[in-house]
Structure 1
Amino acid sequence: MSIFPDREAAFEQKFVHDEEVAFLVRMARERRFGLWAAGRMGQDEEAAAAYARSLVKGALDGKTDAELLAQVQRDLAARGVSASPAELQQAMLQAEAGARTQVMGADPSALDRR
């Protein structure tokens, strides 16, 4: 009996797992980034949650990071809040770090709050 089919199956399972984790991290990142931006805009909790959901939906619809950053910059500017592209990029990176920690180290109930 060859070990190659077992290895192939293990690599496929790892690939599927890695893709699932990457997806969860991206969605959690968009949510965190949206909440950060909504806070900068002075939105209340309900409006902030809706704004974060809109960024998650944009990501699900295939918007790139650059498109999401541009959208947030436009939304901030419309509210009279200035933010440089570098500041927005930094906020997105911080949101990603937090999201990665949440997804990689969280118990399943923490993921339900995405």
Structure 2
Amino acid sequence: MSIFDDRESAFESKFAHDAEMQFKAEARCNKLLALWAAKKLGKPEDAVAAYVAEVIKSDFEEAGHEDVVRKVAGDLGDASSADEVRLKRAEFLAQVKAELVAEN
């Protein structure tokens, strides 16, 4: 194997690792956002897991995170705004990324 092949392999591995970490961060962030929203909505404990699953599922509607923001903000109605949901999501994403870095 040449040096170029080694570098190509290293870049491919790094890209795959970064993509996996981003996916994990987004999934954990969506879960934390759903738990936060469920608490604001006063959902009973037995309904929280189903709500978390709904929010995570909503992330697959379109690229990006606006589908999740739209879902959660719509569910919260007057209890919150889309801007507050985006802010909480950004806080959770920063927290989750720090946790993932600490884990690795």
Same topology, TM > 0.5: yes
Distance in 2, matches of 1:63 and 1:71, equals 14
Match of 2:46 in 1: 46
Distance in 2, matches of 1:90 and 1:49, equals 23
* Equivalences for residues 34-113 of structure 1 within 5 A: 34-62=34-62, 64-77=64-77, 81-106=78-103
TM-score (norm 1): 0.79
| 4+ residue segments displaced more than 4 Å | none
- The number of residues matched between the two structures is 104
Please list every run of 5 or more consecutive structure 1 residues that lacks an aligned counterpart in the other structure.
Answer: 108-114
Q: Which amino acid aligns with 1:99?
A: V
Give the drift of 1:61. 4.6
TM-score (norm 2): 0.86
Seen in structure 2, the aligned counterparts of structure 1 residues 10 and 21 have a Cα distance that, compared at 3 Å, is: same
Please list every run of 5 or more consecutive structure 2 residues that lacks an aligned counterpart in the other structure.
Answer: none
Give the drift of 1:63. 5.6
Say what the alpha-carbon RMSD is for the aligned residues.
Answer: 1.9
